[in-house]
A and B are shown apart, each in its own frame.
Chain A
């Protein structure tokens, strides 16, 4: 029970600034996610129809995914210094490859017959993109968004190392002082947010899957989530 008291004290202590750190952490996740969606999707759409560009984008993104997440944060420090903005930039860079990869995969996975047929009915290139290609590619692209969102949420606590603040501060403090309360509160809060990102976006993914292409029996959300990474 002593431990619960410690946790209670942790929340009562005004120095822990739990609400403030929560806001910082949420911003640190949300801003990079939004920016990497914009960049990843735009680049993906631009590149998907050009084989050579798509080849480079796919391979570079694949390579980037082998790079440890800590490396993204570490590399901005010597050039951009410490604080929120460098950390947000690093997290954005981390978030782009999965979205870019999946946008390209989603667009290239569309049967050419379908786009051909759409053009045959007199649609303009823009209409084909918005009305035919977008709905078909959206589920795959969303899977990429989920991968990168979960990765950003999981890496954001490390941003405390370069002075961005957020829940990571609690973990670092807990490790340095070997105090249980900040360790436990910090890790549980981070884990909850990661779960919310994973399962929330899995629900979004299912919701944006157009009825016509929905598989007859939907598998568990966790199951197909990592499928894109496994092979």
Chain B
């Protein structure tokens, strides 16, 4: 525990301080999730509408998801070297299964009656999509984002093996120098980060679901 409690390990100007590494870890996660969502969202919308493309898309994503992260990143080294791309690309692909599945499930779970009502009010396709379907689908989509984000935080821990700095640095550096306190610090901080982000996004999800109940009654 000593490592965490010493204030010099939290100095922001030190690139290997806990604070800096948390920022690195979060930015790596954010980049992955942003790219991942930008890819998954149109794919999910597309797959929700055309049932026949859903199965091939989700099967392919599932197969990619099965490849262990260490193996996936390692096999990219001959092509992309020890760069951010090597780490981010597999994580973006892993996120697809959960994101697409949830986007599709969310859209399909919208009560057709409400869509009917929207149409009866004179909404066009775009308005239906934006004002009826998406708000109702949002909690389940966020649930997918939550699971994918927590998974990404976990996988990102091995990034330092590929020359990309984040909280995993504490674990690997601790391994190399037999500095157990540092290893433990890394484990605690990265686990806490995952749990805290999980709870925060769960909060967002709950907040959004409350709106849904009101909508459903109306």
Contact = CB atoms under 8 A, between A and B. Distances in A.
A145 to B, nearest CB: 15
B69 to A, nearest CB: 7
A115 interface: no
Contacts of B186: 71, 74
A162 to B, nearest CB: 8
B197 to A, nearest CB: 9
B80 interface: no
Contacts of A66: 150, 154, 191, 194-195, 198
A183 B75 contact: yes
B114 interface: no
Interface residues of B, number: 51
Contact of B187 (A71, A175, A194): A71
A7 to B, nearest CB: 12
Given A68-B194, A220-B55, A226-B98, A194 B183 contact: no
A171 B71 contact: yes
Interface string B174-193: 11000011011011001100
A3 to B, nearest CB: 8
Interface in B66-94: 66-72, 74-75, 77-78, 82
A24 interface: no
A67 B181 CA distance: 18
Contact of B154 (A69, A188, A227): A69
B199 to A, nearest CB: 9
B24 to A, nearest CB: 15
A227 B154 CA distance: 19
Contacts of B82: 175
Interface stretch (B6-14, B116-124, B130-138, B157-165): B157-165
A120 B69 CA distance: 51
B62 A225 contact: yes
A187 interface: yes
Interface stretch (A46-54, A101-109, A135-143, A152-160): A152-160
Nearest to B191: A67
B113 interface: no
Contacts of A69: 154
A187 B58 contact: no
Given A77-B175, A77-B180, A222-B58, A70 B158 contact: yes
Nearest to A197: B66
B89 to A, nearest CB: 14
Interface residues of A, number: 45
Query: Interface majority SS on A: helix, strand, loop or mixed?
Result: helix
A229 interface: yes
B102 interface: yes
Contacts of B187: 71, 74-75
A40 interface: no
Contacts of B75: 183-184, 187-188, 191
Given A66-B198, A70-B157, A230-B101, 17 more contacts: A66-B195, A68-B154, A68-B155, A70-B171, A71-B154, A71-B157, A77-B180, A78-B184, A155-B68, A168-B70, A171-B71, A186-B74, A191-B66, A195-B63, A223-B59, A229-B98, A230-B102
17 contacts: A69-B154, A70-B168, A71-B186, A74-B171, A74-B175, A74-B183, A153-B68, A184-B78, A186-B74, A187-B70, A188-B71, A194-B66, A220-B55, A220-B58, A223-B58, A229-B147, A230-B102
Interface of B: 55, 58-59, 62-63, 65-72, 74-75, 77-78, 82, 97-98, 101-102, 105, 140, 143-144, 147, 150, 153-155, 157-158, 161-162, 168, 171-172, 174-175, 180-181, 183-184, 186-187, 190-191, 194-195, 198
Interface of A: 63, 66-71, 74-75, 77-78, 150, 153-155, 157-158, 161-162, 168, 171-172, 174-175, 178, 180, 183-184, 186-188, 190-191, 194-195, 198, 220, 222-223, 225-227, 229-231
Shortest beta-carbon contacts, A-B, top 10: A222-B62, A68-B154, A78-B180, A187-B71, A154-B68, A190-B71, A187-B75, A71-B187, A70-B157, A67-B191
